[in-house]
């Protein structure tokens, strides 16, 4: 079957567990994937976060596009093939006694002018708090006019209300490739698909994988999600 004309883009979504595991393995995993965009959850967000974010990006062979402390650990990294034209961050309202959460967004251009927006978030582990955060994240996504690529650690599976909120009107890359049985958490005992990547219907999902190898099991407590896409060609 022939594919519609488009611009290829490889995206990785990865909860890196605060770089508390094997960081050499982590860097090797990402470099081997050769992504154009990496959407990071649990990236640097505290003291010297800019320096730490740059060091993480360099270890991957990428550069920082957006995120870090302003988005509370959500970090968007890109290859030099991707030009970033605008960025913004969001912090979700603080629930006393809970971790701060947020989201990062970057408007990008690649491959002779194909434009898209990439977004990343990490929702609460608290089932009462997640729906409100999902609604704010979704509101931001709905305001995007460019084809959007949104990835998140949703901390719940596809049967959850927060997942349904974020997924509405978007294509779940795992479902599109008939690979929704690929579990993303935890590396020690894979039992749940809580890490998702959604795309605008204008974007074609070419391939999807959850990378489960001895190396990824050392690199983090989450498996990386690897997706190949075709963006709408520039007008």
Q: Is the pLDDT of residue 7 over 90?
A: yes
Q: What is the CATH number of the domain that holds 211?
A: 3.60.10.10
In a domain, residue 179? The reply is: yes
| Domain membership flag for residue 2 | no
Residue 53 lies in a domain: yes
What is residue 234's predicted lDDT score, i.e. its pLDDT? 78
Whether the pLDDT of residue 4 is over 60: the answer is: no
Output the pLDDT for position 235.
Answer: 65
Is 138 exposed, middle or buried, given 0-12, 13-18 or 19+ CB atoms closer than 10 A?
buried
Tens digit of each residue's pLDDT (9 = 90 or more) over 167-201: 999 999 999 999 999 999 999 999 999 999 999 99
Residue 190 domain flag: yes
Q: What would the DSSP string read from start to end of 27-90?
A: HHHHHHH--SEEEEES---STTHHHHHHHHHHHHT-EEEEESGGGTT-EEEE-TTSEEEEEEEE
Considering the domain boundaries, does residue 1 fall inside one? no
Within a domain: 79? yes
pLDDT at 1 over 50: no
Inside any domain, residue 61: yes
The domain total for the chain is: 1
The answer to whether position 52 is within a domain reads yes
Question: Which pLDDT score is estimated for 113?
Answer: 87
Domain containing residue 201: 7-231
124-183 pLDDT, tens digit each: 999 999 999 999 999 999 999 999 999 999 999 999 999 999 999 999 999 999 999 999
Residue 82 has pLDDT above 60, yes or no: yes
What's the predicted TM-score (pTM) here?
Answer: 0.96
């Amino acid at each position: 079957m022939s594919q519609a004309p488009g611009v290829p883009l490889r995206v990785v979504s990865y909860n890196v567990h605060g770089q508390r595991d094997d960081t050499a393995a982590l860097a090797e995993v990402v470099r081997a994937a050769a992504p154009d965009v990496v959407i990071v959850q649990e990236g640097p967000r505290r003291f010297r976060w800019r320096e730490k974010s740059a060091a993480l990006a360099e270890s991957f062979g990428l550069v920082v596009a957006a995120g870090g402390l302003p988005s509370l650990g959500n970090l968007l990294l890109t290859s030099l093939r991707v030009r970033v034209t605008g960025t913004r961050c969001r912090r979700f309202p603080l629930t006393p006694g809970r971790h701060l959460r947020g989201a990062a967004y970057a408007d990008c251009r690649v491959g002779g002018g194909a434009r898209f927006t990439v977004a990343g978030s990490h929702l609460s582990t608290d089932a009462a708090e997640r729906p409100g955060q999902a609604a704010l994240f979704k509101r931001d996504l709905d305001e995007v006019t460019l084809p959007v690529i949104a990835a998140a650690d949703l901390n719940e599976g596809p049967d959850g209300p927060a997942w349904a909120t974020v997924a509405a009107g978007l294509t779940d890359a795992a479902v599109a490739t008939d690979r929704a049985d690929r579990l993303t958490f935890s590396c020690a005992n894979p039992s749940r698909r809580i890490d998702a990547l959604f795309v605008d219907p204008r974007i074609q999902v070419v391939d999807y994988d959850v990378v489960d190898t001895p190396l990824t099991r050392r690199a983090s407590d989450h498996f990386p999600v690897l997706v190949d896409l075709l963006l709408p060609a520039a007008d």
